[in-house]
């Protein structure tokens, strides 16, 4: 089978998964009280309406029923607008259709998440908003993935080669402590120690600001406004947080010819990327080691040794490459956990990515559009990462796509 046929087949296979995920979120949304959904979509009820969004309001028209309640016109109108008076299957179909076409609703005018963001995102569609925050998250993800691979593959191979020696035990303890340290604790402690303790001690200067500005690391994804010439954000930095044209901070800074700013954004990403990576390395390292152990007992490795191939070549070429399959598979499996670390880390380090948007939406009472939108977006990331993993796997191991 050709490679592109395999890829197309994989892409078709994800459709039921995406629809299933949407069905789950639909079930969750449907479980919400209707009044909350109305507030989430149309804002708080107007002052002049007596019952708010209650389904019935007391009224004096006694012939409607005996208790003197009649349907609330506001409720009837707005549930009709949202389509909540339709049968549940129709609602489900509409929801799936909207989700697939990225019609995820709009950021409300009194959304808490929108108010936390320094710029103006009120009234934008949820998909557009999240799309603006996505590149930062992606760059952070790529950065931490690089750290993960660079650390875990050599360390896992070393652990397999020097099995049960001190280096194996040390890598084991290091990786397990990554697993056992919650991201919020590690991130906060790193931030405390770097900003509070180490900052004044070493008298760091931010490369973009020529003054003593070590504590600006606390400030977030970009330097403070005062650090720019003239004390103004450059025009390509919306609200000082979202960069244009691509949204990837390093790429944009380089595009505008500001190398120091690119370096600065990488420095700002280092701690968060380390925190995310540290939690994921634990899941990967043991599998790399174990698969390496298995491969090193196979016949072709013995043959290679027997015919006099140098040991380091045996380990790097013969065994190392063949153990990569497992590494990639496990990376795909742990990707959901990996992505789940982003809200916390972006929240701690004040980075304006999708995860931070998710946290702010969670903290404000009625931002269901942003909450479910960012969950869907993260799920898409996981699904597409898994496709990439599958394709890589098929590339590395022809048996998969031929079989």
Partner 1 sequence: MAESGTVPSPPLPAKTKTKRVKKAHRPNPRIAQMKRTFYFLRRNTLAMVGIGILLIFIGIAIYALFQPIPWTQLTQQCASNNGPYPPTGGCLCTYTPGSQDPGPNCYQTPLGSPSIIAPTFNFAHGTLGPLPLGSLTVAPTTPIFFDTYTGLLRGSDWSLGISVAIVGTGALIGLLVGAISGFFGGWVDETLMRIVDIFLSIPQILFVIIVIAVLVQIPFFQPFTLRITLLIIGFVIVWWPFYARIVRSQVLVVREQKYVEAARASGAGGGRLVIRHIIPNSVYPIFVQMSLDVGTIPLLLGTLVYLGFPLFATIYFPEWGSMAALSVFGQTLSNSFLTCQFGTCVIPWWQFLFPGLALFLYAISVNFLADGLRDALDPRLRR
* Residues found near partner 1 in the complex (CB under 8 A): 16-17, 20-21, 23-25, 28-29, 31-33, 36, 169, 172-173, 176-177, 179-185, 188-189, 191-192, 195-196, 199-200, 215, 218, 282, 286, 290, 293-294, 336-337, 339-341, 343-344, 347-348, 358-359, 362-363, 371-372, 374-375, 378-379, 382-383, 386
**What is the β-pairing status of strands 56-58 and 69-71?**
antiparallel
Distance of closest approach, residue 135 Cβ to partner 1, in angstroms? 19
Contact 334/280 with Cβ under 8 angstroms?
yes
Q: Rank residues 50 and 200 by Cβ distance to partner 1 and give the closer one.
A: 200
Strand partners, 35: none
How far is CA 82 from each of CA 13, 117, 173, rounded to the nearest angstrom? 31, 27, 53
Contact 81/92 with Cβ under 8 angstroms?
no
Distance of closest approach, residue 213 Cβ to partner 1, in angstroms? 12
Contact 186/275 with Cβ under 8 angstroms?
yes
Distance of closest approach, residue 164 Cβ to partner 1, in angstroms? 10
Q: Rank residues 25 and 241 by Cβ distance to partner 1 and give the closer one.
A: 25
Q: Rank residues 216 and 269 by Cβ distance to partner 1 and give the closer one.
A: 216
Contact 196/210 with Cβ under 8 angstroms?
no
How far is CA 309 from each of CA 108, 148, 298, 306, rounded to the nearest angstrom? 66, 30, 15, 7
Distance of closest approach, residue 300 Cβ to partner 1, in angstroms? 17
Q: Rank residues 41 and 244 by Cβ distance to partner 1 and give the closer one.
A: 41
> Distance between CA atoms of 180 and 203, rounded to whole angstroms?
32
Distance of closest approach, residue 176 Cβ to partner 1, in angstroms? 4
Q: Rank residues 45 and 341 by Cβ distance to partner 1 and give the closer one.
A: 341
The CB density around residue 310, as the number of other CB atoms within 10 Å, is 11
**What is the C-alpha radius of gyration for the chain, rounded to an integer number of angstroms?**
26
Angle at 298 between CA 296 and CA 300, to 5 degrees: 100
Rounded to the nearest 10 degrees, how much is the dihedral formed by the CA atoms of 112, 270, 127, 88?
Answer: -80
Q: Which helix (H) or strand (E) holds 70?
A: strand 69-71
Q: Rank residues 39 and 304 by Cβ distance to partner 1 and give the closer one.
A: 39
Distance of closest approach, residue 230 Cβ to partner 1, in angstroms? 26
**In the chain, what is the straight-line distance between the N-terminal and C-terminal CA atoms, in Å?**
8
> Distance between CA atoms of 370 and 361, rounded to whole angstroms?
6
Q: Rank residues 254 and 293 by Cβ distance to partner 1 and give the closer one.
A: 293
Strand partners, 237: 243
Distance of closest approach, residue 227 Cβ to partner 1, in angstroms? 18
Distance of closest approach, residue 121 Cβ to partner 1, in angstroms? 20
Q: Rank residues 53 and 243 by Cβ distance to partner 1 and give the closer one.
A: 53
């Amino acid at each position: 089978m050709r490679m592109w046929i395999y890829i197309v087949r994989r892409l078709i296979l994800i459709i039921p998964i995406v629809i299933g995920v949407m069905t789950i979120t639909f079930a969750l949304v449907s479980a919400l009280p209707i009044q909350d959904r109305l507030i989430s979509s149309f804002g708080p009820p107007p002052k002049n309406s007596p019952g708010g969004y209650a389904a019935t309001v007391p009224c004096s028209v006694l012939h409607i029923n005996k208790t003197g309640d009649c349907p609330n016109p506001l409720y009837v109108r707005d549930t009709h607008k949202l389509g909540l008076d339709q049968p549940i299957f129709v609602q489900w179909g509409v929801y799936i259709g909207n989700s697939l076409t990225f019609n995820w609703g709009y950021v409300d005018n009194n959304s808490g998440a929108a108010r936390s963001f320094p710029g103006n995102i009120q009234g934008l569609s949820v998909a557009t908003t999240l799309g603006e925050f996505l590149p930062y998250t992606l760059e952070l993800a790529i950065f931490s993935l690089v750290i993960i691979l660079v650390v875990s593959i050599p360390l896992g191979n070393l652990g397999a080669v020097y099995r049960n020696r001190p280096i194996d035990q040390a890598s084991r303890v290091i990786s397990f402590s990554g697993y056992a340290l919650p991201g919020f604790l590690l991130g906060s402690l790193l931030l405390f120690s770097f900003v509070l303790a180490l900052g004044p001690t070493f008298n760091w200067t931010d490369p973009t600001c020529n003054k003593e500005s070590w504590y600006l690391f606390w400030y977030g994804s970009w330097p403070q406004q005062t650090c720019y010439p003239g004390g103004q954000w450059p025009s390509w930095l919306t609200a000082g947080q979202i960069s244009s044209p691509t949204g990837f901070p390093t790429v944009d800074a380089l595009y505008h010819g500001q190398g120091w700013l690119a370096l600065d954004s990488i420095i700002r990403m280092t701690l968060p990327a380390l925190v995310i990576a540290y939690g994921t390395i634990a899941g990967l390292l043991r599998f790399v080691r174990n698969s390496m152990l298995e491969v090193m007992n196979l016949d072709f490795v013995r043959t290679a040794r027997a015919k006099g191939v140098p040991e380091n070549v045996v380990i790097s070429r013969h065994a190392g490459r063949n153990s990569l399959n497992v590494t990639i598979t496990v990376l795909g499996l742990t990707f959901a956990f990996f992505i789940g670390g982003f809200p916390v880390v972006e929240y701690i380090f004040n980075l304006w990515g999708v995860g931070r948007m998710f946290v702010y939406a969670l903290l404000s009472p009625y931002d269901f559009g942003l909450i479910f939108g960012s969950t869907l977006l993260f799920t898409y990331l996981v699904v597409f990462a898994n496709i990439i993993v599958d394709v890589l796997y098929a590339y590395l191991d022809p048996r998969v796509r031929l079989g």
